[in-house]
Structure 1
């Protein structure tokens, strides 16, 4: 056969292989989309009679997912990433279902373990280590020394060794959890490498790691844009342990993916709570912009600079206010009111000459005093008496009504004195006649 014929056959084989690869890719993508459209989580109402293999079918698509991840970049990257985001969301749900089934199965033997180890993978590893006595809690289950100490103390009090559980079922659930978790990590790594193409503004604002976690949890950019900003902080939040506090020194309870971003962690503890709120508001805007297929990440970089400037202004110390001294008082005589009307008005309240003399005392001489009508002792001072001369009386102004009252009082006093004298003389004459009558008879 000639060289031309051999080249022609080789080209046909290459075209056939590429056609088969494209067909396989389409089959893989079609199978995964069909699985996503018809996905329903398993119900655990009758978990005791439920077969482990019927709980999840997600590991059956591992080969299809690996083939889709190994496919080179093409023009349909956005559609592929949307499918992978949906698969990541399904993997997250499957891990929760398997975790709940494992807790229901093992709660009869060690019910307190759920509150001590809330993470699904750690819980499965701890159960496997307890049942098989193989492995270490710190290295295999990745527990801290404090968790190991609390767990050992709890096993002495609430662990029921006499209760029998299905060991084979527990090991199968552990294996399924590990498999689904491994597939989810591979999906997250692929999305991380392609996140800047799908959500450029979110990557500029939070970084590709946090962006991929948010997209994987929500299922895509469109789904993330529909989440309110007040709920973004709780995405990826870990469950609190029973022996831990629910808040840290920063006062933040929603320690999710956004809280672990560098934009929040670079701030001091007292500013992280306020920075988290501002970042969540900008993330909601960036997700809505990225859902409309933007061309660049200009808005994400602008919002990041804006947040940095705002938090820098909030952390600045308050300005020192200069204390202004009081003005120098003017050493000049103040202007006094004068005039004929003001002088006449002041004369109404000035002291009389008699009162002025009464307020003075002679040096070295005893002051004379008199008893007034009320029985109080009054000092005379330099005045000889308290009688007011007619020519030197007080010039205080008296109203007409007061003058009329004073005249009435004087007339009443005179009438009283006159009537009282007549009655006294009559009484005196009557007594004299009475004495004469009785003394003469004797």
Structure 2
């Protein structure tokens, strides 16, 4: 199996040589004069140096470990050739070439305007696109080397990986700590928050880690230096792209600024890649993960990316920052497509959208309208409606639903109600009103004194009295069985009846009045 692997490595080294300029090769050779032979560049990260027997044996051991599935190398097996395996030499060489071209481009003054022709025809445009796309490869390289550092530094401080999530902060912390066991002697507040420093210091007192060997620590520190170089190169590339953002993405630069536009394009991998990302994802570009340190998470903002860290967002009140970042992210998705299509190279569309966004943000900060004092309505001058009183209660009692109607509206569950027929073939149910009586009939209505319409007794007595006046319809003619039709004087008849009633006093009445205990009066004269 070893012979086959050697043959494959020889073929790979012969077929996949990367062409580099002489200047880049000389710089890379000068940077790697640390008792390490310079390997040939290839895209598969395989060790191609087969001239040195010791390096060849180490590479064979690594290949056999990879074949057996042993990805985690113990601290005793750490050596210098491991850095060659995890470092993408082609990416580093490409970064050096781009940095050299950037230095040359900065030395030449840039023209403010392009005189005719397409933007892609400008000689500096390919360099801007290449430099912007290189930032994504540098991020991948940094993550790969940081993973190597975490694996090799775990025997010294295994809990540090869970306390610091950001790769750059982790590398800086490892460089500062080294093999030191007492972290109180090290100042980490220059690049870490105070709360995180306190947690790291307390955790280090209870950690079961052991100091690394000198060779192991040298490999870890060398990997940290590689990460620092990559970060410095990335920062230089972003500064150059930021200075040329008015040429690459003029509308996006006007909308969010050159610095923020360069960060967004670097995180997305270019202007074309940024134009394909929706607004909800542009908002979280550059967001950091939360660290589970056990402390309060109120200060850790969610979905706070490059837009949330921009100056035009930070100057807003805290309660409006999330809404403003969402509005800017949505507009960035639209403006990035405008720049990708090379429309509006003067940035007019970006200025129009920025003014629109500023108006929306100002509208968000406006206080709610105050409550106006309304005048009372003009009172009605007509008679007031009587809504209560004894008379109103009586009227309600007279017009309320009767007991028979209430019984008719009620039904017994499971019992069919009796129905009566009406004209035109319709029927009407009786409900409970027809349950206890004769079929087809309901009980008689019982008179209720409350519902009875009465008249005042005083008025009734006055109306029942006779005034004594003769009606115009009365006649003095009378029919008698003796004479038939007889004319009679009504006044004479009334006088005769009055005299008879006054003389009709019997002896018994006189005796009772005479011997009574009442006031005695004289007997009437005969």
- So what's the TM-score if we normalise by structure 1? 0.63
Match of residue 455, structure 2, among 322, 327, 352:
352
Residue in 1 aligned with 2:172?
125
Point out the more displaced range, 186-195 or 320-329. 320-329
Q: Which of 1 and 2 has greater Rg? A: 2
Contact 1:78–1:198, Cα closer than 8 Å, also in 2: yes
Contact 1:85–1:219, Cα closer than 8 Å, also in 2: yes
Q: How far apart are residue 288 of structure 1 and its match?
A: 0.7
Q: How far apart are residue 279 of structure 1 and its match?
A: 0.8
- Structure 1 residues 70, 274: CA separation in 2 closer, same or farther (over 3 Å shift)? same
Q: How far apart are residue 95 of structure 1 and its match?
A: 0.6
Matched, 1:182 2:232: yes
Cα distance in structure 1, aligned partners of 2:340 and 2:44: 26
Q: How far apart are residue 324 of structure 1 and its match?
A: 2.2
Match of residue 127, structure 2, among 80, 91, 100:
80
Cα distance in structure 1, aligned partners of 2:194 and 2:251: 40
Residue in 2 aligned with 1:115?
162
Cα distance in structure 1, aligned partners of 2:275 and 2:356: 21
Identify unmatched segments of 5+ residues in structure 1.
Answer: 1-23, 29-37, 337-344, 358-382, 393-442
- Structure 1 residues 71, 191: CA separation in 2 closer, same or farther (over 3 Å shift)? same
- Structure 1 residues 54, 232: CA separation in 2 closer, same or farther (over 3 Å shift)? same
Contact 1:82–1:219, Cα closer than 8 Å, also in 2: no
Contact 2:158–2:209, Cα closer than 8 Å, also in 1: no
Cα distance in structure 2, aligned partners of 1:62 and 1:333: 95
Q: How far apart are residue 183 of structure 1 and its match?
A: 1.0
Match of residue 53, structure 1, among 84, 91, 103:
84
Q: How many matched pairs?
A: 318
Residue in 2 aligned with 1:327?
377
> SS of the counterpart of 1:71?
helix
Larger relative contact order (CA 8 Å, sep ≥ 6): 1
- Structure 1 residues 118, 349: CA separation in 2 closer, same or farther (over 3 Å shift)? same
Identify unmatched segments of 5+ residues in structure 2.
Answer: 1-19, 25-41, 47-65, 112-121, 387-397, 400-450, 466-526
Q: How far apart are residue 47 of structure 1 and its match?
A: 4.8
Q: How far apart are residue 351 of structure 1 and its match?
A: 4.0
Residue in 1 aligned with 2:324?
275
Q: How far apart are residue 311 of structure 1 and its match?
A: 1.7
- Structure 1 residues 256, 334: CA separation in 2 closer, same or farther (over 3 Å shift)? closer
Q: How far apart are residue 229 of structure 1 and its match?
A: 1.0
| 1:309-349 superposed Cα distances (whole Å, 9 cap, x missing partner) | 1121122122224232222323344699xxxxxxxx99x97
Cα distance in structure 2, aligned partners of 1:76 and 1:45: 48
- Structure 1 residues 323, 106: CA separation in 2 closer, same or farther (over 3 Å shift)? same
- So what's the TM-score if we normalise by structure 2? 0.54
- Where do 1:27-42 residues align within 5 Å? none
Residue in 2 aligned with 1:302?
352
Contact 2:155–2:210, Cα closer than 8 Å, also in 1: no
Q: How far apart are residue 76 of structure 1 and its match?
A: 2.0
Residue in 2 aligned with 1:341?
none
Matched, 1:64 2:97: yes
Cα distance in structure 2, aligned partners of 1:201 and 1:67: 28
Contact 1:41–1:97, Cα closer than 8 Å, also in 2: no
Match of residue 258, structure 2, among 202, 208, 222:
208
Cα distance in structure 1, aligned partners of 2:93 and 2:283: 34
Cα distance in structure 2, aligned partners of 1:329 and 1:39: 91
- Structure 1 residues 69, 136: CA separation in 2 closer, same or farther (over 3 Å shift)? farther
Structure (1/2) with the larger helix percentage: 1
Cα distance in structure 1, aligned partners of 2:331 and 2:131: 25
Matched, 1:218 2:240: no
Contact 1:201–1:286, Cα closer than 8 Å, also in 2: yes
- Structure 1 residues 64, 163: CA separation in 2 closer, same or farther (over 3 Å shift)? closer
Contact 2:45–2:85, Cα closer than 8 Å, also in 1: no
Residue in 2 aligned with 1:312?
362
- Where do 1:223-242 residues align within 5 Å? 223-242=273-292
Contact 1:195–1:208, Cα closer than 8 Å, also in 2: yes
Q: How far apart are residue 298 of structure 1 and its match?
A: 1.1
Contact 2:95–2:134, Cα closer than 8 Å, also in 1: no
Contact 1:89–1:217, Cα closer than 8 Å, also in 2: yes
- Structure 1 residues 324, 121: CA separation in 2 closer, same or farther (over 3 Å shift)? closer
